[in-house]
Amino acid sequence: MMETILIVDDDAHIREILRYKLVEAGYKTIEAGNGSEAIEQFTNLAPDLLILDIMMPEMDGTEVCREIRQTSTTPIIFLSSKDEEIDRIVGLELGGDDYVTKPFSPREVVARVKGILRRVQTINALPADSEPREKSELTHGKLRLDLDRYTTYWAQEEVVLPATGFNILKTLMSRPTKVFTREELMDGAYSDRRIVSDRTIDSHMRTIRKKFADVGGDPIENRRGVGYIMTACD
């Protein structure tokens, strides 16, 4: 069955470029030139993925994302002219699954779409109750996670993390001597089985490490080309 991509951008030229490349890659496309039209198209046509511009008049992409996330976990790739890390993280925390910064390569966007939809098929095939029952607390050296209260501590100092960051850390701490691939961290990070890209995990990792650096901690090590592992946390 041909998958449908909703392209949302107030720039008709960008919509045309993406439509051409996505159709060439075998996808069906629908389009919206503003946020309100995007909500209407999403509700009526139920696309498999959205490519969503952030900066639009009237109703911007973040508002569209908030609205959609109230009822759906359909993957969303943000388009943005902003390249600041804070803008990327805000978009991801609102419920975006990936981001592409303008100006972009249409081939890169298509590759992101293919990767995310491929993972949708894999994750949807998993049984919903496949995860084991978990403990109420995880500890590793100076690091402690209270799973009931969703709080994180380095020694006696509380470290406030966003929910996604907490889930990434929880996944790492479940097997602290294992190097987790980005794909494994994605699967553990999102309880709603949302689909995200490798770069999304890297952005969250930078946020986590900065939070711990503020209290003198460094709980995560990057194994270049492989993934991430816990440090000794001593």
Please tell me the distance from the alpha carbon of residue 222 to that of residue 114, in angstroms, as a whole number.
26
Give the distance between the most distant pair of CA atoms in the chain: 56
Domain with CATH 1.10.10.10 in the chain: 137-230
Please tell me the distance from the alpha carbon of residue 111 to that of residue 98, in angstroms, as a whole number.
12
Beta strand 49-53 pairing with 76-80 = parallel
Report pLDDT digits (tens) over 171-199: 999 999 999 988 888 877 765 555 566 67
CATH code, 137-230 = 1.10.10.10
- Burial string for 68-97 (b: 16+ CB within 10 Å, else e) reads bbeeeebbbbbbbebeeeebbbebbebbbb
Q: Is the pLDDT at 209 greater than 60, yes or no?
A: yes
33 confidence band (pLDDT: 50, 70, 90): very high
Please tell me the distance from the alpha carbon of residue 218 to that of residue 173, in angstroms, as a whole number.
14
Please tell me the distance from the alpha carbon of residue 154 to that of residue 143, in angstroms, as a whole number.
5
**Overall fold of domain 4-124:** Rossmann fold (3.40.50)
Report angle CA 190, 28, 40 to the nearest 5 degrees. 70
Domain with CATH 3.40.50.2300 in the chain: 4-124
Report pLDDT digits (tens) over 66-125: 898 888 878 889 988 766 555 666 677 777 778 888 888 999 899 989 888 887 776 566
Tokens 């973040």 correspond to what residue?
Answer: 62
Q: Note the pLDDT of residue 34.
A: 94
